[in-house]
Structure 1
Amino acid sequence: MIQILVIAILSLIAQLVLPWWSLAIVTFVVCFWRSSSALTAFVYSFLGIAIVWLGYSLWVYGQTDGVFIMRISQLVFKANNAVLPFVGTTILGGLAGGLAGLSGYFVRQVTGNQSMSHTA
């Protein structure tokens, strides 16, 4: 659980000053350092990034009174449904983070740095 919070907080800070893909660097490093299995690396990274991106989507929704999200829904999904951009953003961000975290775990396994893992 701590790993999810570390990923969420560090990726939020990184994405404020760096491009969106900085989330991949954060999840890669955290899972290289901390993950105990491939499943936890993927799931914790997915959840950490999904929380951040869903929160940011909700913030944008609140700041624009839903206008921006509805326009995105009409443009991308050809529908007047505000839920679709939230779901799409959350899943895409989560997958990007999850795959980067999984990569970090596998790189640690290949390089033989198992002594760095900490079981949560």
Structure 2
Amino acid sequence: MRLFLVILLVAAGAQLLLPWWSITPVAFLAGATLGRPGGRVFLAGFAGIGLGWLLLASWQQVQGAGRLSHRVAQLLPLGGQGWLLVLVTALIGGLVGGLAALAGYWLRQAARPLAAPAPR
């Protein structure tokens, strides 16, 4: 839960000043420092970034009356459905965040020194 909140809040703050891909180093570093075993690292990254993008895209969809998302959805094979574009956006962001957090956790595991073998 702590990893999820850190990724959600820090990535949302970073995107105010930095490009969209700033979510990747945020999730990577959070996964490397706060990650726990058991597959929860991917889920925390996926939910943290996915929820952040879902909220932002939904807000923009409502504020703009869906005009921009409708036009973009017409360019993609989404049939002009703006809300489907919002869901696809959240899914893509979630996958990027989840994989970045998992990569950070795996790097920490790979860099951890191996335990010395027990003497016989």
TM-score (norm 1): 0.88
Alpha-carbon contact 2:49-2:93 (below 8 Å) kept:
yes
Distance 1:50 1:60 in 2: 15
RMSD: 1.3
User: What whole-Å deviation, never above 9, does each CA across 1:81-114 have from its counterpart, x for those lacking one?
Assistant: 223201210110001001100100000001107x
What residue number does 2:7 align with? 7
TM-score (norm 2): 0.88
AA partner of residue 109 (structure 1) = Q
Runs (4 or more) in structure 1 with deviation over 6 Å come to none
| Residues 74-113 of structure 1: pairs in structure 2 closer than 5 A | 74-112=74-112
What residue number does 1:26 align with? 26
Distance 1:63 1:83 in 2: 13
Larger CA Rg, structure 1 vs 2: 2
Percentage of identical aligned residues: 35
Alpha-carbon contact 1:38-1:105 (below 8 Å) kept:
no
| Alpha-carbon shift at residue 5 of structure 1 (Å) | 1.2
AA partner of residue 57 (structure 1) = A
Unaligned runs of 5+ in 1: 114-120
